[in-house]
Structures are given as C-alpha cells and as structure tokens.
Structure 1
Amino acid sequence: MLDSFLFRAALAGLGVALAAAPLGCFVVWRRMAYFGEATAHAAVLGVALSLALNMSIMIGVVAVAAAMAMALSALTGRGYAMDTALGVLAHSALAFGLVGISLTSGVRVDLMAYLFGDILAVGKTDLMVIWGGAALVIGLLAWRWQALLTSTLSPDLAHASGINPERESRILTLALAITVAVAIKVVGVLLIASLLLIPAAAARPLARTPEGMALWAAVIGGASALGGLRISLQLDTPTGPTIVCTAAALFVLTGVIGALRPRNTA
C-alpha cells in the first residue's frame, strides 16, 4: 500500500495536519501569527545550512528556528518592537537562505518544492520523519497542555501557579520549529503559516473549550489536506496551495455556521 504515491501523500497531509492543529490553536490564542510566519521563512536558511553541511533538514530547520528565537529575545531586549524584530529576522533569514541554496555546489535543489511543497513526491523516509515529528509535537503539547494554557491566559496567573511562562514559550517555539520542519515537504515554507492558522481559526466558531478547538482544528486540517489533494488531482493545480485554498473555504463555511448558530443569551 505504501507503494502508492497518493496513499503516501494522504498520510503525509494527515500527519502535518495533526501536528499543526493543536499548535495552531496556541498561535491563534497568543496572536503569534507573525512569529509562525517568521519561523517558516527562517526554515529556508535551515534548508541551506543542512544542504551545505550534508545533514538532516529537520535538524537544520530546528536549529535555525531556535537561533531565531534567541535573536528575537535579544533584539526585543534592546528596545526593538516585536513586529520590527520579526520582520528583520524573517526576511533576512529568507533572503540569506535563498542565496545560500543558490550557492550550494554539487547538489541539485528543487527550490519550488521547498517554497510551495511537493507532497506527491513524499517517500517512505519522509513519512517516517513527518509522523515522528507529529508524534513528538503532539506528545510535547499534551505533556505541557495545562501549563501552556495557563501561561497563555495570564502570565501573572502562571507565576502564581508556579509555572514559568518563558519556559512554556520556549517549548512552544520548539514545537513550532519541529512542525515547520516536517511540513516543508507538504506545503512548503511559504504556506506553512497558513496551515497553522487557518484550521485553528476555522475551528473557533465550532468549539466551546480549548480541547474542543484543538480537536476541531485537527479535523479541519485533515479534511483540508485530503480534500485539497483530491481537488488538485482533478483540476491539475499545485497541491500545496490547493490544500490551503481548501482550508480557506472551510474557514468561510465554519464562519457562516457560527454566524447562523443561535447564541445563548441566558
């Protein structure tokens, strides 16, 4: 069964959706959309370093994401606004990454596959990496779920409960870096932030609890991946962008459902 490229593509899309769903909820709750996009852009530099040093792309992406988080902390500590620091780091990392990939000698690189994904080319090794990364992200978030929720709700309440909000932010950054690394093959670095944000935002009108929102986000993300894959094959369109378009359509649908749902005025 794994010899079917469509079956491997479907499994890859589901794996990324399951990893991105709960993490995307925290990105929405914490208003970290720009940080998620900056991490995705920095992944290009991680890819360039991985190719230059002949090491795993996941290791390179996670290392660059961690370095970006430390650089962001240093810049904001020196008085730079958060959005300014993120903009400088994101676009600089993307530019240096693209230049670095172009200078990599002896390696044939399909740059479009890294930018927009190539889910139809996913192999068995890629599947192992994607599902291993997804399991790591889900396990990490499940382990720290309550602490992450508390620090998201109120840093003061987290301190009062004996929780270090800075540590939880670092855990969230690590999970985000891993998700970006495993999602590169599916939707590419330019669309990863969309797969994080849109299913989580689409789940909000359907959920009444944080856990419910995470579950709905997983369902919507999985439906987007499978539906986008099918539509792209039927219409002969790029698969990664089609997956994001499908997620956007589901966002509109759940928004309409939320607007039509009777509100509890009691």
Structure 2
Amino acid sequence: MLADFFSRAIVAGIGLAAVTGPLGCFVVWRRMAYFGDTMAHSALLGVAISLLLSINITFGVFVVAALVAGALLLLQRQNTLSTDALLGLLSHSSLAVGLVLVGFLTTVRFDLMGLLFGDILAVSVNDIFVIYGGGAAILAVLALNWRPLLAATVSPELAEAEGLNPEVSRIVLMLLMALVIAIAMNLVGVLLITSLLIIPAVTARRLSATPEMMALIAAGLGAMAVVGGLYGSLTWDTASGPSIVVAALMIFLISLAVPTARLFGRRPSHGA
C-alpha cells in the first residue's frame, strides 16, 4: 500500500489530522489562532538556520519555534505591549529574517514554494514513521495533561486554586504546537498548517457537546478534509496542500446548514 505515492499521502495526512484536531481545539478555545500563525512563520526561519548549520530541518524548526514561544512568554511578563502586538512583531519578524537568510543560501537549492505550501504527495515512508511516531508522542502528552490544560483554559484562577500550574500548562501547549508544526511543515507547508489546526476544530465546536467529543470530531473532520482534498487535487490537478484546506473549508460551510440542536440537543458550553 505504501509503495504508491497517493496512498502514502493519505496515510500521512490522516496521521497528521489525528494530531492537529485535538491540538487545534485548544488553539480555538484559547483564541490562539494568531499564535499558530506566528509559530508557522517561524518555521521558515528554522529551515534557513538548519541549512546554514547543516542540521536536521525538523529539529531546527522545532527549536526555533520553541524559542519564539519562549520569547513570547518573556515579553508578555514585561506588560509593555499587548499580546496581539507581540504576536505580530514575532510573526512578521521571524518570517522576514527567515526570507533574508534564505537569500544568503546561494549554494543550497530547495523548493521555497514547496516549503511554503507543502507537497504531501512527495511524502516518504520515513516521513510517515516520523508523523506517526511524533504524533503518538504529542497525543500521549496531550492525554496526560488533558485535565490541567483544560482547567487552565477554562479559568487559570480556578486551576491555581485546585493546585495546578497554568503557566506550565501553557508552556506544554506551546511546545506541542512547535512540535506538530515541525512535523507537518513538509506536508501542508508553513503557511497552511494553521488552517488545518483551526478549521476542523472550529467546525467540530458546533457539533460537539463536550471538550472530549470536540477533540474526536475535529480529528475525524481533519481526516475527511485530507482525503477529500487529495482526491480533489487528483481530479482537478490542483495543489495538494491548499486543496486539503479548501476541503476543510467546504466541510465547515456544510456544517453551517446542520442545526446543532438536532445532533446533541444543546449548544456546546465549553471554550472561551
């Protein structure tokens, strides 16, 4: 099965959706969509630095994304700028510095468009092992920290009163975001990974009554978007990464026509 490039793309995409779905729920609940963009833009800087230092690109992207997340935490403690201003500063700065560094890589040839928009059809068997291995690790950490993360999302004050540490939960979530972006970069590209994190989760929010149900539905909808987008790309000869995001958007639009009360009897009460 994995000998065929299209089958490899589907298997890899489904594995990625299984991770981005639950993780994207926290992105939506915490209103961190712009943070996702910031992390994704930092991926280009991570690629440039990795090529300059001749280190593994996935590792380099993860380190740079984690450093950007750490910089955000430090700057937030100074209380001099709003969070959205800091995210704008870090997002556009990391992207610009990455593009400048790419300009200095005259002896290294790589597909910048493929990096930005991804090429899931070029995924290898080794890539699939990385996706499922890294994805399993991310989901395991997410499951072990589900209660602290959820409590800190609903109310940091109540989480502290229960003896939990919301700051640690926030750091864990940021590191998981950095890791999933490093893994997914070659699949859907640095400019589209945020869409795969957000759109299935936003769709699932309308169709779920509990946080756990939302996480499962988001993963399922992400897998549907991957399969639908890839078959659409094959049928109409369109770019695979953007086609997946368009499929996710179509699923969201279709969900708007489905009354939430018909599915679960009430609107979901979770999330900020």
TM-score range, shorter chain: over 0.9
2:21 alignment counterpart: 21
Residue deviations 1:222-262, cap 9 Å, x none? 00001100000100001110100000010111122135738
Residue deviations 1:201-239, cap 9 Å, x none? 010111111000000000100000011000001000011
1:255 alignment counterpart: 256
Cα shift at 1:31: 0.5
Cα shift at 1:53: 1.3
Matches for 1:137-152 after TM superposition, within 5 Å: 137-152=138-153
1:63 alignment counterpart: 63
- Following TM superposition, the consecutive aligned residue runs of length 4 or more in structure 1 with deviations greater than 6 angstroms are none
Q: Which runs of no fewer than 5 residues in structure 1 stay unpaired?
A: none
> How much is the aligned-residue C-alpha RMSD, in angstroms?
1.5
1:101 alignment counterpart: 102
For 1:58 and 1:136, how far apart are their aligned partners in 2? 15
For 2:167 and 2:266, how far apart are their aligned partners in 1? 37
Q: Which runs of no fewer than 5 residues in structure 2 stay unpaired?
A: 268-272
AA at the equivalent of 1:11 = V
For 2:206 and 2:2, how far apart are their aligned partners in 1? 36
AA at the equivalent of 1:118 = D
Of stretches 195-204 and 98-107 in structure 1, the one that deviates more from structure 2 is: 98-107
What SS does the corresponding residue of 2:86 show, helix, strand or coil? helix
For 1:132 and 1:54, how far apart are their aligned partners in 2? 23
AA at the equivalent of 1:73 = L
Q: 1:51 to 1:259 in 2, by over 3 A?
A: same
For 1:151 and 1:44, how far apart are their aligned partners in 2? 30
For 2:184 and 2:69, how far apart are their aligned partners in 1? 19
Cα shift at 1:192: 0.7
TM-score by length of 2: 0.94
1:38 alignment counterpart: 38
Q: 1:157 to 1:249 in 2, by over 3 A?
A: same
Quick check: 1:159 aligned with 2:160?
yes
How many pairs are equivalent? 265
2:187 alignment counterpart: 186
TM-score by length of 1: 0.96
AA at the equivalent of 1:49 = I
Cα shift at 1:103: 1.6
Of stretches 71-80 and 83-92 in structure 1, the one that deviates more from structure 2 is: 71-80
Residue deviations 1:165-191, cap 9 Å, x none? 000000000110111111111110001
For 2:190 and 2:102, how far apart are their aligned partners in 1? 14
